[in-house]
Amino acid sequence: MSDAPGDPMRAAQANMRPPALRRFYKSAEVVATEGGGYALKLDGRGARTPGKRPLVAPTRAVAELIAAEWAAQGETIEPMSMPATRLANSAIDGVADALAETHAAIAGYAGADLLCYRAEAPEALVAAEAEASDPVLDWAGQALGAKFLVGQGVAHVRQPENALQAVDAALRSVENPFALAALHVMTSLTGSVVLALAVARGRLGAGEAWRIAHVGEDFQTARWGEDVEAAARRAARWRDFEAAARTLAGI
């Protein structure tokens, strides 16, 4: 995630690294609240975030994602196996109090979106990246009014101001803290705000967006073989990405 000063997602996550705890509850359930949200209850008691706020989701579908993670824990609670819960904690403790800052943190990726940077060679990789990314950029131009420029290599590509403004406008239309937190997770994990918005608006499924973000990596893996540690890190990132996409779908 972004290391930019004032990034509310990162600030909230700083409080989410407690030592491992033994499971202290038997049941995890969802209960509707008077305020219209859905609370996680552990043995009938309301759960709280690391910031000591009630762990309440905006919809039953999202709350059930969270409750399922708590129900699936074994004798020891493993926070890293609970991506929907961690996202909810970030939304409640960080994003809810800093919507503008979160919008800005996500929008910052538009100036160097992953889809706009392509390999110079070999030809097969150049073609694979174009085949995967060009349709999504075309969609961004049509659906968002954001027409991006594409370059090869690592040299910075200065994007048109109207494209950046179009992405900013699309993000500012998202006011739900859970949805915004999910977009932040998806953007930072792929390096592409375009992919995150494409998933949010139903243009891409989570799996397809993840594949597009990793065309170059998959090309190298097919050529040189898989690195076990790298594969494990990617699997962990995928769990977070998928949980964010499921959260968005459930709002």
Where do the CATH 1.10.3580.10 domains begin and end in the chain?
99-250
Where do the CATH 3.30.2180.10 domains begin and end in the chain?
8-79
Place of tokens 């109207």: 162
Tens-digit pLDDT string for the chain (251 aa): 444 446 777 666 655 555 678 999 999 999 999 989 999 999 999 999 999 999 999 999 999 999 999 999 999 999 999 999 999 999 999 999 999 999 999 999 999 999 999 999 999 999 999 999 999 999 999 999 999 999 999 899 999 999 999 999 999 999 999 999 999 999 999 999 999 999 999 999 999 999 999 999 999 999 999 999 999 999 999 999 999 999 999 99
Q: Is the peptide bond before 135 cis (omega within 30 degrees of 0)?
A: no
What's the pLDDT tens digit per position in 50-80? Answer: 999 999 999 999 999 999 999 999 999 999 9
Q: Which CATH class is domain 8-79?
A: alpha beta
C-alpha span between 195 and 118 (Å, rounded): 15
**Residue 155 · residue 117 · CB < 8 Å:** no
Backbone angles phi, psi at 31, to 5 degrees: -130, 130
What is the CATH superfamily name and number for domain 99-250? ATP12 ATPase (1.10.3580.10)
User: Measured in whole angstroms, how far is the alpha carbon of residue 161 from the centre of its chain?
Assistant: 25
Q: Is the pTM of this model over 0.85?
A: yes
Instruction: Name the β-bridge partners of 41.
Output: 29, 46
C-alpha span between 65 and 54 (Å, rounded): 16
Backbone angles phi, psi at 249, to 5 degrees: -65, -25
**Residue 183 · residue 200 · CB < 8 Å:** yes
